[in-house]
Amino acid sequence: MGRYWLAMSDAAAFTLVRSALAIAAKLRAGVAEQVHVVPPLSGPELAVALLTAADAGWGKGKATHLMAELADLKGVDCLGRAKAWTLLRDAVAELPTGLWALEKQALRRELLDELERQANAAKSELPPLPSKVELREQQWRETALALRAAARQ
């Protein structure tokens, strides 16, 4: 029974690593396409960083460190920063929860919350977009002004 258990354990570890590699590749591509920043780490290196975060039980204090490994966001506008933080949050959330030890599950939640908070902070810097009602009101004002100008002539 020992050899079978070891083989199953190896297969599970292999699956976890493959999942982390796929998630890291998706994250890297997403940052390059959506944020227009090429991450300095390769896909496997980024997977190692994600696996390290899970194994070491990184919490909210390590969110900025994890982002620093992913991309340098200096000079990126607030929309790009928000996208980068959201992509990183989604990648960490997609990692199998089995990577975190049971006693470190709370740290995983803290890390996810901090990544979400960072994304929301970047989004809050965006100028507010006008609502549909405000756009319609602006169109009515412009139409009324145009009609008044036409009536005067």
| pLDDT at site 22 | 94
| Cα–Cα distance, 59 to 76 (Å, whole number) | 25
Task: Write the CA distances from 127 to 66, 69, 77, 123, 124, integer angstroms.
Answer: 27, 28, 12, 9, 8
- Among 110, 102, 23, residue whose Cα is nearest residue 70: 23
| pLDDT at site 6 | 52
| pLDDT at site 8 | 55
Per-residue DSSP letter, 62:
G
Cβ pair 54, 14 in contact under 8 A: no
Q: What pTM does this model have?
A: 0.75
pLDDT tens figures, 49-101: 998 888 888 888 888 899 998 999 898 888 899 999 999 999 999 998 888 88
